[in-house]
Structure 1
Amino acid sequence: MIIITSEKQAGTAGKKGSQFTGTAYPYLTMAATDGVTINTVNFTPGARTFWHHHEQGQILQVLAGRGLIQSEGEPVRVIRAGDTVWVPPGETHWHGAAPDSFMTHTAISLGVTQWADAVSDSDYTTTPSNED
């Protein structure tokens, strides 16, 4: 068992190599341990990750606010506080805050993350398929 106390986490920079558009505040909750990395990320309105995929998948737990997520070739979807998202291994995707909301999530990344290009403004501003 490993316990990582809050004193050891506070102010730690996010996962090395992470790519964001806009202002995001990533905090490394647990450095890579047995192929698992955990980050908590606070996204300002409009901030988002670049396109990327994970060797063994990713779990996102939305803690606060409202965000957007999209898998390559699929529509943009809305995610909200309390939602949990499973992204299968190798599925290229992006996630971040909605244009008019902050969003905080915990990202549990399994295996190596491969970063790609920035999400274009036109892709980001596409109307989500499940918008209320």
Structure 2
Amino acid sequence: MSLIIHRNGDRPGVSGPANSFTGTVLISPVISAPAPASLRSVDVTFAPGARTFWHHHPVGQTLRVLSGTGLIALRGEAPHYIRAGDTVFIPPHVEHWHGATPTTAMNHIAMQEEPDGETVWLEAVTEDDFNRTPAA
């Protein structure tokens, strides 16, 4: 196999689909590594108030916040602020959501291995869950 180089601008971003995201979201590809690797990574920009639906990953997910301030929450828990420079690991099969705050945009790189399946998308995050007071 040869070296693979994806040049900046060669692969356009797409809007986050309405069955997985609330609000304005731009998803730009980073890598979908060929087998035997299973790394998938995207650059995601959330406008203020935008967020994912509840979801989980078969072997977990890592987020690296590049700019702005966002929120991340596990099912049944208050959200936590995440800020530029933060890295978050969500364990396998743990239901969660992440996105911008109501007033601040956020951009992160999402990384996950998907050897045995794709992201499992669930229902939209309610306004009550989104507006819940973040943990200190």
The number of aligned residues is 129
Deviations 1:49-76 (A, max 9, x none): 0000001110100000000000112221
User: Cα RMSD over matched residues?
Assistant: 1.9
- Aligned partners of 2:41 and 2:16: how far apart in 1? 8
Residue 127 of structure 2 corresponds to: 121
Query: For residues 28 and 14 of structure 1, do their structure 2 counterparts lie closer, same or farther at Cα, with a shift above 3 Å needed?
Result: farther
**23-32 or 93-102: bigger deviation:** 23-32
CA positional deviation for 1:18: 6.9
Alignment of 1:19-98 (within 5 A): 19-31=20-32, 33=34, 34-98=37-101
Counterpart of 2:53 in structure 1: which amino acid?
F
1:102 aligns with 2:105: yes
Any stretches of 5+ residues in structure 1 without a counterpart?
none
CA–CA separation in structure 2 for the residues paired with 1:90 and 1:21: 21
Question: Which secondary structure state, in structure 2, belongs to the residue aligned with residue 86 of structure 1?
Answer: strand
Give yes or no for contact 1:14–1:28 (8 Å, CA) kept in 2: no
Give the AA of the match of 1:113. T
In 2, Cα distance between the equivalents of 1:52 and 1:30?
20
Once the two structures are aligned, what percentage of the paired residues are identical? 43
Residue 15 of structure 2 contacts residue 25 of structure 2 at CA under 8 Å; is this kept in 1? no
Distance 1:102 1:42 in 2: 7
Q: Which 4+ runs in 1 deviate beyond 4 A?
A: 14-18
